[in-house]
Amino acid sequence: MSWLSVILLFLMSRAHGDPVDPASPAFVFPQGVDPQGAQANDLRQAFKDAIVIARMAALTMNPYCDPVFERYFFPTQLQFVSNVFRTIANIPLDISIEDLNGGLDPAIQAMITSRGLNPTFSLLSISIGNHPDRSPNSGDDCAVDDTDAYLVHSRDNEDAGLISMCTPVWDYPSLSNILNPPAGWENEIGFGCNNLLDRDSDLMTPAGGVLLHELLHWGFLFENEVPNFETVIPLTSGGDHHIRDYLGPPGGIPDTGYGPYNAPLLKNLPPGPYSVTTNNVDNYVYFALSKYWSIQCTKWFAQSTTPSDAFLRNTAWNRYSQPAQPQPQSIGEPQSQPPLKRSIIHDLFGGYHHNSTTYIPVKTRTWKAL
């Protein structure tokens, strides 16, 4: 299958997650956030981006020696990983992407352009800030520093997923903003294909990538669709099967499975009863993101080379949330700061970056979820 075909397919597909889709998740906005405003639209866009990334991963799954896949997984895991992404993308597991000549099967294109979301997404609710329906005893909280987002199950329906998107997640742009930066951001690191480095990093991550991370934690989405899900993914102490975040011993290499640097290192761990690679969410996320950007940017990205590759995005996008700082400038000096874009967000949800009187420096952070 040619990548051009995939890109065309991608561009021709209708937007997933539109409110008209009966399987659309619910979007929950706290008081003070306009449901039709910019921040609400960013949340909806993040969900669409998560689906697009998963769809791209599903459609470009290459059974013949894919170096990106083998960076994050073992070749024998290809079918399982493919089924996970097809489930998110709502592509039937039992149809071939390619026709007999190795081209894109026209039936696939017709099907994907007409199909909506996986119906299970009707049991998902995504909120800005802590989800109001979560149990206060869940142990997760947007007020905890560094929390980008987290998923818990509903109090009323243990199958239903509740995702809370916390303030730091807005540091991440949309796929579109990374690919086609707004005016003034073209030369900033992390904006445009030429500024994504030559290796996997969190500069590849849009807000929808964080949301994709949380979707991958939602075991109910997969357990009835992905064959052998409950064999590959062990039972958790919470009594369900879901893909987790690897946590290693202190000082271990790696000590966690978070981020583009740690995730490939899990392949080096000694084999256990369950494969660590298929049991760590960011192996899926960064495999998918590396594939996505390799196609959009028509170049390959190498493996991450340093732990700091997981923290490059921290101040790249949301620096506009800082209160205005006096800029020492001489007359005629060109403005070096990118223009402010979305001050509305920090005004409504400050506290982490900005508490209305004091700017709080951005800290290093990791993914958090269940």
Binding site for Zn ion (CB under 5 A): 245, 281, 367, 369
In the complex with Zn ion, which residue's Cβ is closer, 112 or 163?
163
Look up residue 78 and give its two tokens.
């290809």
CB of 157 to Zn ion, least distance (A): 21
Reading phi first (left if > 0) and then psi (alpha if -120 to 50, else beta), residue 52 is in alpha
Q: Which is nearer to Zn ion, 49 or 245 (CB)?
A: 245
Q: How many residues in the chain?
A: 370
Q: How far is the CB of 285 from Zn ion (least distance, A)?
A: 9
Nearer to Zn ion, 108 or 233 (CB): 233
**Number of other residues whose CB lies within 10 A of the CB of residue 129:** 18
Element (H, E) at 26: strand 26-28
Neighbouring C-beta atoms of residue 235, cutoff 10 Å: 11
Q: In whole angstroms, how close is the CB of 221 to Zn ion at the nearest point?
A: 14
Measured from the CB atom, is 97 or 152 closer to Zn ion?
A: 152
Report how far residue 82's alpha carbon sits from residue 66's, in angstroms, rounded to the nearest whole number.
13
- Cβ of residue 369: shortest distance to Zn ion, in angstroms? 3
Smaller CB separation from Zn ion, 68 or 163: 163
Task: State the Cα–Cα distance between residues 28 and 125, nearest whole angstrom.
Answer: 7
75's CB contacts (< 8 A; 6+ apart) are 65, 69
As to burial, measured by CB atoms within 10 angstroms (0-12 exposed, 13-18 middle, 19+ buried), residue 337 is: exposed
Query: Which residue number places its CB atom closest to Zn ion?
Result: 369
CA distance 356 to 32: 16
Q: What is the torsion angle, in degrees rounded to the nearest 10, for the CA atoms of residue 135, residue 43, residue 297 and residue 8?
A: 110
- Least separation in angstroms between residue 146's CB and Zn ion is 13
Least Å distance between CB 149 and Zn ion? 9
Q: In terms of Cα–Cα distance, which of 222, 227, 212 is closest to 282?
A: 212
Q: Please, which residue, 44 or 213, has the CB nearer to Zn ion?
A: 213
Task: Considering the complex, state which of residue 10 and residue 246 has its C-beta at the smaller distance from Zn ion.
Answer: 246
- Pairing mode, if any, of strands 161-165 and 124-128? parallel
Looking at the Cβ atoms of 117 and 243, the one nearer to Zn ion is: 243
DSSP 52-73: HHHHHHHHT--SS--TTHHHHS
Q: How far is the CB of 217 from Zn ion (least distance, A)?
A: 6
